[in-house]
Amino acid sequence: MPPDFPELQYAVVKHAKSLSEAEAVPRDETDRRIETASRTAMQKFLAGKFRSYYLPPPYDFRLSFRNEEQTRLAARTRGVTQDGELAVRFPADTFIAGYNVSTEVIGNAMNPLPLLIRILRHEGQTKTLQELNDLLWLQVDPEKLPDWSLPPKPSPQKRKYYGDQ
């Protein structure tokens, strides 16, 4: 149990194998673990051994992503700034407000349009809509993406603007 939350009860029902893959515990064992943790938590609560937690505002949210492209897309959300190569950060006055911004940030980061554009450039217009959809769903597991579909590395060159010398 985490040292900051000794009252916390949880049930381990999956073991991570990679960033996007987990091995599930068999269903019977999963049910038993969840039931045991729930029963223990309720017993502690009813015995008055549960301490409530209050985290005072303001809240500082930081979300990290798998690649720089997702991070750049996430940082386009109003009030969100990039925090390193693979993370964004933003403040919130309430946890609910921060959660709502988080859902927007994640939605922006997971935008399939850049990948769709790379697929169309690579495959041309030979794919059906179903084949394109199947390729886009591969985005869930970046280890299964073909090399040509990976986001390009950002150019280290300084951007030039009209009027620059």
pTM of the model: 0.59
Q: For the residues 12-27, what does the mean pLDDT come to? A: 87
**Does residue 125 register a pLDDT over 90?**
no
Q: 10 Å Cβ neighbour count for 98?
A: 18
Pairwise CA distance, residues 56 & 76, whole Å: 27
pLDDT, residue 160, reads 54
> Percentage of the chain with pLDDT > 70?
73
DSSP assigned state of 12: -
pLDDT tens digits, one per residue of 29-86: 999 999 999 999 999 889 988 777 778 899 999 999 988 889 999 999 999 999 999 9
Beta bridge partners of 23: 15
Task: Kindly indicate the confidence band of residue 17, based on its pLDDT and cuts at 50, 70 and 90.
Answer: confident
CB 109 within 8 A of CB 90: no
Q: Which two tokens stand for residue 164?
A: 């620059």
Average pLDDT, the chain: 81
DSSP label at residue 162: T
Which one has a higher pLDDT value, 2 or 78?
78
pLDDT reading at 15 higher than 80: yes
Average the pLDDT over 145-164 and give the result: 62
Please tell me which residue, 136 or 32, carries the higher pLDDT value.
32
The domain locations on the chain are 1-53, 59-109, 113-149
State residue 1's pLDDT score: 47
